[in-house]
Amino acid sequence: MKHQWFILSVMFVVSTTMGELKRDLSAPPPQMPAPVLYDTTTAVLTSANAKLMLPEKSWSEIQKGQLPSKFQGDAVLVNSKVAVVVGKDGSGVGLYARDKDSWTRYAHLVPVIKNTPLRLTGIKAVTNTEELVVIEAGSGEHAVWFSLSGAEPIVKTTPKGKVEALRITTLCRLCVFPDFFADDLLLDAREIPVDHTEIPGG
């Protein structure tokens, strides 16, 4: 009898949980903060700017629906978790994350063509809605689209033209390469005895 009581109790808990899930799924999804696009009006992406206060008073917010083809300063895509700063002077892209009182740069991104860094001489907005902000940064037909939604700390990149890689520079000890079959590759810099190494890729 004890076993029967235990099984019935588990079935009841599962049934109750499933009922709650059904009610949650039928309810409207919670509203997420919309991503925002800024024109900094002056260059802010420099080697000295490891931290930023977002947004600065001098920055100009690009209203939803507006798609400027040029930026006076740097372009900044930001949601509640991450920020992408695209340098107008061609210096690349800074990836920032929110800290307690400011935003800290954790990585620097540079598109690459045939192992040569691509200078980002042009910036334009592609999409600017409540759900998604996309900008194109590059030189002529060779460019990268940077996309940011309001829901996740994920920056999507899409190459255009002959861009074949995105060079990521960051100070870190551990690096994880996700695998399609859940066989992720974890690298520990302390276990690599040389200054440079090649990582196998698919």
**Between residues 22 and 97, the one the model is more confident about:** 97
pTM for this prediction: 0.76
Q: For the segment 23-40, what is each residue's pLDDT rounded down to a tens digit?
A: 444 555 445 578 999 999
Phi and psi at residue 190, to the nearest 5°: -70, -15
Report how far apart, in Å, the C-alpha atoms of 85 and of each of 7, 59, 107, 125, 157 are.
Answer: 56, 13, 11, 13, 14
- Flag whether pLDDT at 21 surpasses 50: no
* Whether 76 contacts 140, CB under 8 Å: no
- Whole-number pLDDT of residue 64: 96
Q: Taking the CA atoms of the chain, what radius of gyration do you get in angstroms? A: 22
- Flag whether pLDDT at 202 surpasses 80: no
Q: For the segment 33-66, what is each residue's pLDDT rounded down to a tens digit?
A: 789 999 999 988 886 678 888 888 899 999 999 9
